[in-house]
Every structure is written in structure tokens, then in C-alpha cells.
Structure 1
Amino acid sequence: MTARTILAIDEGTTNSKAALFSETGAVLATGSEPVPIRHPQPGWVEQDAEKIWHATVGAIGACLAKAPECEIAAIGISNQRESILIWDRATGAPLGPVVTWQCRRSAAACEALKAAGQEDQVIARTGLPLDPLFPATKVGWLLEHHAKGRAPDEICIGTVDSWLIWKFTGGAVHATDASNAARTQLFNIAEGRWDADLCALFGVDIEMLPNVYESACLFGTTKDVAGLPDALPVAAAIGDSHAALFGHGAHTAGDGKVTFGTGSSVMTTVPDFVVPPKGLTTTIAWKYAGQITYAFEGNILVSASILPWTADLLGLSSVDELIALAETVETTLGVSLVPAHVGLGSPHWDSEARGLISGLTFGASRAHVARAAVESIAYQVNDVFEIVRANAGQDIGRLFVDGGPSRNHKLMQMVADIIDHPVTTSESPDASARGAAYLAGLAVGLWPDLATVAALEPHDAALAPQMAPKTRAAGLETWGAAIGRSTWRP
């Protein structure tokens, strides 16, 4: 009997990945293709939608070439969030670039809306502050620069999951899920619908937006996709950070996770929608079986991407060499590195902040700078975690970690020490793909319920905090001073 499997697509900022999951949750094969990134101006970050699709098809081909004989029961999609594009509804041709989540080109538009007193109503409806991280002002830029003179019914607006669903279904379906819709700043997450007032505020016609469905849902079926048969169900879509949370089995209020990647996401489930405390966002984690699960989240703009940058700055050949150098010293000797290279995200939300290295003395060496770069990942997580801990309304439960850096035991121990909470690593590096696969499998009946999929995910033992309280307090004080310098303006 041919084994039934789920093909999960994890379309990230720098790579499109594909993974094939068995009924036991085992990863049978993977494939990956890089996605180019452009920086046409300082602070601008964009991609090519067709290259994202070609990389996705390439990743699928690489994955299936290594796979055993099996039956693909469904496809699930996990995607980079907040990146937005527009395309021609008739031809499917992209109209302009994919303006990515890192791009700051709409910072002035956000500031103008803040000055007009609009931020409170936006936060109350979407759980998101006015910041260029979020797509609504980017959509305005795209429509102004790439869609003048076009009628609303000629244009599709979508996040990357919408683009992939469109391409997988041969242009038959323009859709998204609740988790991705919740990140657009056009979706009323308390009421679960596109918000006419928000669309008017940002100059968007609702007719351009995708239909919104549950995260586990039969969106459509494949048509004319290279390497895949027609009529495969596309049965899940979910933002990558949300997918990782779901894949870990964090289904109890108070459970959370930290995803380490180019940026980082700290996310903890909460029982109901609440207007977020300053510094955090409230979001829809997923919608499943008619039920919306909400979460607090803090988005860190520059996380693991600081490591290769610092390695290059210090003349090192790799991130592994940087971490090894950092481990040769026990402290930073007062050196701090704030990776505000594209501004600071949560909890500071300062698009004008800039990166810096501070606290240098003649006693400081390359090793101290290297350690400061590594520690910056953990300190940024703590900045978010402290606000989550104070406002979650219940005890923080299990805290899972995933993403490439989570496989470094010493770095994750540093995170546990600095946030003063146990962290649980996973044996599987594919948390986002796993979450998308589980949702797709639930949608087509491969797994019967949440308890079944939660039991499939293998985890290691939790890493308990080991740092002395005085050492932690001193480090936090030094970090806080460095953040103050980063955000200072004359």
C-alpha cells in the first residue's frame, strides 16, 4: 500500500523550502531553492514574485526527487508574513515588486497617519501599530506607483500565501487564511472580516482583496504545476511564525514559541482578543474548526541575520567561526551590539533607530564584539518576553524555540538564561513546514484531531536558566543603556 504524505511549502524570506511528511510526522525528504532579495534604496527591501514561484517549484522538484514512492494527500503552505504584492487578475502578471516585511519605504506614510491621530483606532481593530513592517501602507505605495488607471476588479492584492495559492490553482483562486489576513492591517481581527473603514483609510478597495478562510481549508486544487499532478488539494495556509507555533503543539493558552530567523517572532497564545499592551501586537494565531486562536506577538526585525553581518565585519569566514570566537570569552566586557540596522521592531517600534556597537575600551577584543552580537539575539527576545509575561493574563507555559539558530545548544542556553524561563528545543528544524503539514493533514482527514498531531512532534528536554541573578541584572542594565543610545536623536 502506497504511503500517504503531506507536501509542505515553507516560503521564507531567503529560501523557498519543501518538505514531505509521513503519517507519523517524519520528514521523508526536503528541498530548498534560494530567493533573491533586492535593496534598491537604503531601507527598501523587495523581491520578484515570479522568482518566488520559480524557487517554490524548484524546491518541490528537489524534494520529490529524493522522496520514496508515496501518495501526496494534500499541500500545506507556510509563508513569510507581511510581504505584499499586487498582480493582474486577468493575466496573473505581477504589477511591481513584492514589498517585503523588512522594507521601510512606507515609514513616512505611517508617521503621517500617526500625526493625524489614526493609530489608536488601527490598533483597536487590528492589534497592530502603525509601522512600515505591516502591509497596509505598502499596498498604498504599490497602488500609487504600479496600478494607476486600473479598475479595482482588474487587480489582486495578496500576501505571499495568496500568490502561491493563485499559482498552484492556475489562477482560479484568490484566497488567504485568517492568520495572514490578520497581518495586513486591513482585517478586523475581533470581528474576523475585512474592515471597510480601514480599507478607506489606507486607500484600498475591498474588491481587490482575497477571500479569507480557515487555516485548514480546501482552498483549491493544483493545475499545471511543474512536477505535480493536477487536482492535488491545497489544504492549508498559515503565516510561518503561526505555523511554527501550531507545529510545536502549543495549543494551550500561555504556550509560546520563539522562531529565530532573519528576524525573530516571540508568540504566546492568549484566550481572547485584547487590545495589545504597548510594544506588542495581538494577532490571530490560526483559525481551525470554527475557532479563532489569538496570540500576543513581538516582531524582532534583525535577529540571526546579525551573525553573518558581524562575521564579515570581523573578517571571519562563517557564523560557526563567529560563535566559536564568542565562546572564548565569558562576558562582553561591557560591549553591546544593537542590531537596529533597519530600525527596531517590538517592543520599541522605532523605524529611525540605527545599529551600534557601544561600550568599547582598549580591553575589548574581536571576541567581545562577537559575543555581543550573539547575545543581542537573546536580549531582544527578553525585551519582548518581559512585556508578554506582564500582560498575558495567565502563567507562561511551555516556550518552544525553532529556526536555524535553535539548533545551537549554547545559544539557546543563553536565551533561557537571559529571559529567565526554560526553553524547549525540537529535534525537527522544520517547525513552520510541520505546522502547515499538520493543518493540511487535518483538513483532508489524514489525522483526526489536534491531540493526534500534537503527539507527533518530537521535542528535547527543556533548557533551564542557569545564570546568576546578579549577572543577568548587570547584563540587562548594559543592554538597556545601549538601546537608549540606539534610539537617541539630537
Structure 2
Amino acid sequence: MARDHLLVIDQGTTSTRVILYDTKLQAVGQAQVEVLPTYPRSGWVEHDPEALIASVGSQVTTALLNARVRAEQIAAIGITNQRETTIVWDRETGRAIAPALVWQDRRTADACNRLRDKKEWISKATGLVIDPYFSATKIAWLLDNVPGARRRAEAGELAAGTVDTLVIRHLTSGEHLTDSTNASRTLLMDLATDEWSEELCNVFGVPIGLLAEIRPSTGDFGATRGLDYLPDGIPIRGVAGDQQASLVGQGCLHDGQAKCTYGTGAFLLAHTGGRIVRSQRGLITTRAASVGEEPPQYALEGSVFIAGAAVQWFRDGLKAIGSAAEIGDLALRGDPDCEVVFVPALTGLGAPHWEPSARGTIFGLTRATSMADIAHAVLEGVAFQIGDLITAIEDDLGDSLKRLRVDGGMSRSDPFLQFQADVLGQPIDRSPQVESTALGAALLAGVGIGLWPDREAAVALLQSGGRTFEPARGYEWRARALERWRRAVETTMGHYRKERR
């Protein structure tokens, strides 16, 4: 039987998705299930590691059935995942010692503040900023707050990793591996060498022996073993964090190309080729996935913590709509001249502001304000954040981005993307496959296993098309809108900084 399909496991913040692709990178079947985080305290966000792993097996089985593909037809497995989310587990049993700390979790803000005197050195080594977003302080918190954990870690009994590492361990019955894109999000990897730094580990209080071996994104990550839903021996050949996988899936493989994915958060990446560009505007320098045998690749990234999560809050918290898709139509019924501004800092502000203490704030409410006006402000708030990121990236690169490629759940909304184009004053190209994250992982796995003669043959399979949104509003409108937004952000940050003091 021909091995002519690629299986991708896409483990995200709110769901696990499995997609089967053929050798032309066409999706032939999929399955998806919600796996929602919990919020035990203000600023705390957790996942149940056992639920994450259980969702993988169930969705692989369902996707194979939906695709009418036999497991024996799988040439390789690709994995893409929510990044920074951190788990510590028993090395022998694989059982987690505590809930996973999700990338949105802010409980280590004080620990980050205590390291501010080392921020320049840490930023130079890792390309990152010191923030609870990243994995290092999460690992240290688990070791210090789970009874006996630090002693067990130092004795070699525990292992730590991001979600990709946990999934690889499950699929292979024990391999402890990660890829360079995920490792670059931990504050523990030296960006220039692709290796764990003993010095960084000491600063953050993380025993280096806890960490997985780092391999290239199209490297050998072992093969399936001991599963009851897949046969032994299927190779895992493509692994990348979700945003780096999306960069590949959008065909952004060259210097100057940029994409934004609107998921639970929103993530804008601009490819910088083989150059490590150090941000002066509060952005992140990160590893991009290297495809095939190419040398290390890099990107500038801006991360917004709340994007689709703002719509979920509007749906589930305010109970203003029955489904997320309804927000676009509701927003169109709002007053177009309404000046309500929503700063969606529900779990702090990410790039380029990096204010973990900030919280969501609404400005401009009057007795005439309607729920439609608030819906409009929610969508605007997400779009304005991306505008801030574009400005920062262009300043760092010293050049303008001519176009932006977009994907992810919110990119399905025409009203939202039209407003995003208006805010940016630039055309936006919506991918024909609005879920390009899994597509990128499939391409990496196919290249890793040698399904195509070279990288160019794989990239040529990526679909063109989609829809372009051109700006419909002029410079004066954009200048007024951005000024109103910036005043709102500055006021929000000032209020919560003062409260923290």
C-alpha cells in the first residue's frame, strides 16, 4: 500500500485538530475537538495535560475515518502546537506533576520583574523579552510550587517541555525531543547556536537536564510506538510552533514576507531570512522553520495575547451572541461614527507594549452605546493591535511591508478584515486555506520524509488565490482613529502601572 498521505496534529489553545493531506498538499479529511483551558485565578490559565493527549488519539482516529485513509498510507506525521505552554512530567511514566501553564498565564509576572536588571543580556542571547509569556519562569514556578518537584528534577526524575515535546513523547513512547522554533520560545535557548544555554538555565533556575534535545524542524523526531490507534513505525518528520508553521503554510519563506494569524491571540511574523534582526521596538526575534537543508532562518514577531479570545469573551462572558461568527454582522449594525474603544488586554498587553499588569478596558461609553457598538469596538481593538505591530516591524526593518497575508479563525470575517485593511492602509491577502498552520506542518513533514524532489517543488503546491481586501478609508480617518486608540492604550497602561505601585 502506497504511503501517500501526511497526518498533521495541530494542538492549539482551545482545540486539537488532525488533518490528512495528500501529496499535493490538499486536505482530504479532518477532525477537531475543543480542549479548553481553565482559569483558576485571575491571571492564571491552565490546561489538563491528560486531556490534551487524549484528544490526539480520538481525533487521529476520527480524521482517518473521515478521510477514508488507512493508517498504513501515512508517509509521515507533522506536529504543530500552541507555543510556550509548559508541562513538567515524570520521566518514567509520562504523567504530568501539575496542570500545564498556558502561554497566556501571568502568575510569574513578579519573577520576571525581579530579573529586569538582566533584560539586555537575556534579550541579546534569546531574542526575547523577559515576560511570563515564555516558558522559563513557568518551569521554575512548577518546580518551586509542586511539593518535591525541584528535588526530583535535580535527581533526573522529571522532564519538561512545550506541547510538541509532550505529544512526541506520547507518540513515540518516550522520546524527549523538541524543534528549534519551539525551543526558541523558552528564554533558555541561545538564538545564535540553537542550543540550550547553561547560563540562562542557571539564571531562571531550570536544571538543564530537564530539557529536550533540539532538532531542526524537518529533522527526525522518532516514530510511532505503542499506540492503540496507529501502527508502530510511522516517522515524525515535521515539527514547528504554530506561528512558524503558519509562516511556512502562507508561503512566507523569504526575507521581507509577512503574515498574521488570528487565533486565540494574533501573531504577526516578518521573515528576515538568515539575518538575526534585533528589535528596538519591543518585538521578538525568533527562529523561523528551516525547510530542508537550508541554514537557520529567523523572523521578527509581534504577539497579541487576545484576538479570537476577545470574540470568545464577547460570546461567553457577555453572552451577547450565540456563536463567534455572529459578531461581524452585529458590528455592522453599530454606529460607524461611534468612538467606543476597547483595549483587549484581558491577560495583559503583549508586543510592542509588554505590560502584563494591564487589563481589558472600554472607553467612550454613553447612554446611546449599543451592544452593536461594543461588538464593533471589540473587532477594532484586535485590528488596532496589529496596526501597532506593523508600525514596530517597519521601524525595525527600516522598510515598509507592502502586503500582509492573513489566516486563522477571525480571517473568515469580511467586516473584520476590511477594518484591518483600513487601519493599516495596506492591502490584505486572505489565504485560500484560512488554517495555514497545519498546512505548514504538512509541508515540513513532506520535505522531511522526501516526498518531493526539493523544497521548491513543495512550495509550488501551496494554493494561490483567496481574497484581497483593499483599504476603503483615507489617511485622515486613519490618523484620527489611531490617535484615539493610542490615547486609550496609554491611559490603560498608566492606570494599571499606578495600581501596581
Stretch moving more, 363-372 or 232-241 = 363-372
State yes or no: 1:227 paired with 2:232.
no
Aligned length: 487
Distance across 1 between alignment mates of 2:475 and 2:350: 27
Q: Which deviations, in whole Å up to 9, do the C-alpha atoms of 1:205-241 show, x marking residues without a partner?
A: 2111110010001210101223211100011110001
Q: Which deviations, in whole Å up to 9, do the C-alpha atoms of 1:39-92 show, x marking residues without a partner?
A: 121110111111100011111111011113351000000000000111111222
1:332–1:372 contact (8 Å) kept in structure 2? no
Please name the residue that 1:179 is paired with: 181
Please name the residue that 1:276 is paired with: 279
- Give secondary structure in 2 for the equivalent of 1:218: coil
Amino acid at match of 2:327: L
Task: Compute the displacement of 1:93 (Å).
Answer: 1.5
Once the two structures are superposed, the pairs formed by residues 59-208 of structure 1 within 5 Å of their partners are 59-69=59-69, 71-114=73-116, 117-146=117-146, 147-150=149-152, 151-171=154-174, 173-208=175-210
Please name the residue that 2:491 is paired with: 485
Amino acid at match of 1:307: V
User: Following TM superposition, where does structure 1 have runs of at least 4 consecutive aligned residues deviating by more than 6 angstroms?
Assistant: none
1:221–1:234 contact (8 Å) kept in structure 2? yes
1:301 to 305, 321, 326: 305
Question: Structure 1 stretches of 5 or more lacking a match?
Answer: none
2:79–2:441 contact (8 Å) kept in structure 1? yes
1:254–1:395 contact (8 Å) kept in structure 2? no
Distance across 2 between alignment mates of 1:310 and 1:53: 29
1:106–1:141 contact (8 Å) kept in structure 2? yes
Distance across 2 between alignment mates of 1:369 and 1:36: 25
State yes or no: 1:465 paired with 2:471.
yes
1:345–1:351 contact (8 Å) kept in structure 2? yes
Once the two structures are superposed, the pairs formed by residues 9-88 of structure 1 within 5 Å of their partners are 9-69=9-69, 71-88=73-90
State yes or no: 1:350 paired with 2:355.
yes
Stretch moving more, 337-346 or 285-294 = 285-294
Distance across 2 between alignment mates of 1:227 and 1:463: 43
Distance across 2 between alignment mates of 1:123 and 1:236: 28
Distance across 1 between alignment mates of 2:490 and 2:355: 11
- Give secondary structure in 2 for the equivalent of 1:319: coil
- Larger strand percent: 1
Amino acid at match of 2:35: V
Distance across 1 between alignment mates of 2:32 and 2:10: 9
1:6–1:75 contact (8 Å) kept in structure 2? yes
Distance across 1 between alignment mates of 2:187 and 2:155: 19
Distance across 2 between alignment mates of 1:397 and 1:468: 17
Stretch moving more, 155-164 or 323-332 = 323-332
TM-score by length of 2: 0.94
Once the two structures are superposed, the pairs formed by residues 347-386 of structure 1 within 5 Å of their partners are 347-386=352-391
Stretch moving more, 227-236 or 314-323 = 314-323
2:24–2:461 contact (8 Å) kept in structure 1? yes
Please name the residue that 1:399 is paired with: 404
2:10–2:438 contact (8 Å) kept in structure 1? yes
For the aligned residue pairs, the C-alpha RMSD in angstroms reads 1.5
Question: Structure 2 stretches of 5 or more lacking a match?
Answer: none
Task: Compute the displacement of 1:290 (Å).
Answer: 4.5
Distance across 2 between alignment mates of 1:22 and 1:88: 37
Distance across 2 between alignment mates of 1:98 and 1:330: 42
Task: Compute the displacement of 1:346 (Å).
Answer: 0.8
Stretch moving more, 97-106 or 310-319 = 310-319
Amino acid at match of 2:79: I
Stretch moving more, 183-192 or 423-432 = 423-432
- Give secondary structure in 2 for the equivalent of 1:396: coil
Distance across 2 between alignment mates of 1:471 and 1:417: 9
Please name the residue that 2:332 is paired with: 327
1:74–1:233 contact (8 Å) kept in structure 2? yes
| % identity of equivalent residues | 37
Task: Compute the displacement of 1:421 (Å).
Answer: 1.7
- Give secondary structure in 2 for the equivalent of 1:123: helix
Task: Compute the displacement of 1:329 (Å).
Answer: 3.2
